Structure 1
Amino acid sequence: MTATTFRIGGDLSVRRLGFGAMGLPTEPGPARALSLGVARRAVELGVTLIDTAHLYGGGANEELLAEALYPYPDGLLVTTKVGVARSAETGEWRLDGRPDVLRDQVENALRRLRVERLELLQLHRLDPEVPLADQLGALRELQTAGKVGRLGLSEISVAELEQAREIIDVVSVQNRYNVLDREHESVLVACEAAGIAFLPWRPVAWGKSGAHAEIAAVAAELDATPTQVALAWLLDRSPVVLPIPGTARIGHLEENVAAADLRLTPAHRDRLAALAPLDRPADQS
């Protein structure tokens, strides 16, 4: 039986199938009202892990979730990410891991989410122009100060994960990964060995799953949708995998959440596993 929950950092229990809030419109009007409804419906359906980031609208996504869900129900984890900032000169988004920027983004996230502590904070990307020790050291200081509970990383290699674990306790990794794209397979394997939560972004290949004949065939045999098959495969792939599919439509949300109850047979598992190569050198991620 596939486990339905996972303890991030060994103590923070969440249901494994979460929700990615990135695609929720935040501008005033009917679209925002729908976004509020989707976020609330996710919690009604039992989702306990919701992913956002400073990058998503410069904090507007965080504010949306707070408007929809605050005061947060017991057991709900809203995790956010920092480390990408908008240039004051060009207006373009860029990596920015300078300690003062990270600290400022954390303070703003606390304010926008209306909390005193971020139970899980992830570094959106490593900034190659800032020493790793400076980036992670700033986050560790925020953790020591009680403003952050646990720390994670995103879009990293196995080597970077090893380096980071010498500085902080890494409890989660968020890399691109799905049934058709397993470039970061070695990172998932490393996370599984260490008991680190692996949050795959783009978990259903942006709809490409439905166009793949083998996935469509498995879906038909299981009386499910290709999206549900792709999510069920992720949940079946490893107990540390916590998919965070996103949508701005309640119907799609309900379809996604229902994937947690879909069970693949060994034959289905083998057919899906054969769709993309698994063997990758440890440094290719």
Structure 2
Amino acid sequence: MSTPTASFAGRTVSRVGYGAAQLDRLHDRRDEAVALVRRAVELGVDHVDTAEFYGFGFANAVIREAVRPEDDVVVVTKVGAEPNPGGRLPLRMAQRPEQLRASVEDNLRSLGVDRLAVVNLRRPDSGPGLRPQGDQVVDLDDQLAVMTALRDEGKIGAIGLGSVTIDGLRRALPAGIVCVQNAYSLVSRDDEDMLRLCAAEGIAWVPFFPLGGAFPGLPKLTDEPAVHAVAESLGVTPAQVGLAWLLHHAPNVLLIPGTADFAHLEANMAVGNITFDDATRAALDAVESRSSEVPIG
């Protein structure tokens, strides 16, 4: 099963990776979670997206067990939030420089490595998500200072950004940004200008919520008749159409679809082989884009 490749953090990687956020659904079936990640690697996944706060460390622990050095997998993690087990939401902001440093240390420890290949600084500036208050309103330059210091210390290999605005990205470019992780899908294309800027700068565009609809108020890919029509004509699922559209839309897109299901994992990996003719592309491109600016919490 072949998938297209792209440049990422000085490497050539498959454009279809794996996002570990849903691994926690297998919290009581750890062996199954490890087997799922192993299967992803067997299918060609060579970049995995995770965070210490996914399952309160469970995802990182599974990845530590499942991914071997000889697999040569780029493990990408993120900072900017931390677990909040007792809260209404399982997350809270952790934007202060000392919190970013502590989160890097937590990820190093739970992944069992002495260097994190890529760390995304998750800002709270755009898209669906928490919005900062009080001492969590932190200037980007102060955050980049600690991130670059951690890189200079050898604890971080490369720096990415998440939920950032185009102005924030422009400010951060001198720091050497390798990827941007924003909410983006066929049905929510707010950041088209930023995607183009990333392409021009050689920065990977890594959409989260690639099918929309993860929270109430977000547009859903599966609500679009055009997507269902294309799926039926090609004999694939609407989700596969949405993921394949992202790959076709821009060459710097890297996918990190998440799942806790083996069959779904294989379906996700197959999207690299889906092709669209011009009429199909035009029908999908004509789908209305709606905003993903949905504050949560």
Q: Same fold (TM over 0.5)?
A: yes
Distance 1:230 1:87, change over 3 A: closer
Matches within 5 A, 1:126-275: 126=124, 129-166=137-174, 168-206=175-213, 208-275=220-287
Q: Which residue does the alignment assign to 1:6?
A: 6
Aligned-partner residue type, residue 168 of structure 2: E
Q: Which residue does the alignment assign to 1:81?
A: 78
1:68-98 per-residue CA deviation (whole Å, 9 max, x = no partner) reads 22x2334311100011124699686322222
Contact between 1:84 and 1:125, CA under 8 Å: does it hold in 2?
A: no
Q: Secondary structure at the match of 1:205?
A: coil
1:54 CA displacement: 2.3
TM-score (norm 2): 0.85
Q: Distance in 1 between matches of 2:83 and 2:197?
A: 32
Q: Secondary structure at the match of 2:70?
A: coil
Q: Which moved more, 1:202-211 or 1:100-109?
A: 202-211
Q: Distance in 2 between matches of 1:250 and 1:188?
A: 31
The ranges of structure 1 where at least 4 consecutive aligned residues each deviate by more than 4 angstroms after the TM superposition are 86-92
Matches within 5 A, 1:43-54: 43-54=41-52
Aligned-partner residue type, residue 70 of structure 2: P
Contact between 1:182 and 1:276, CA under 8 Å: does it hold in 2?
A: no
1:136 CA displacement: 0.9
1:259-281 per-residue CA deviation (whole Å, 9 max, x = no partner) reads 11111111111110010249xxx
Q: Which residue does the alignment assign to 1:282?
A: none
Q: Distance in 1 between matches of 2:56 and 2:71?
A: 27
Q: Which moved more, 1:82-91 or 1:248-257?
A: 82-91
Aligned length: 274
Q: Which residue does the alignment assign to 1:98?
A: 96
Q: Secondary structure at the match of 2:23?
A: coil
Q: Distance in 2 between matches of 1:45 and 1:60?
A: 22
Q: Distance in 2 between matches of 1:123 and 1:112?
A: 18
1:184 CA displacement: 1.8
Gaps of 5+ in 1: 279-285
Gaps of 5+ in 2: 125-131, 215-219, 291-297
Contact between 2:27 and 2:58, CA under 8 Å: does it hold in 1?
A: no
Q: Distance in 2 between matches of 1:96 and 1:105?
A: 8
Q: Distance in 1 between matches of 2:100 and 2:88?
A: 18
Q: Secondary structure at the match of 1:152?
A: strand
TM-score (norm 1): 0.88
Q: Which residue does the alignment assign to 1:283?
A: none
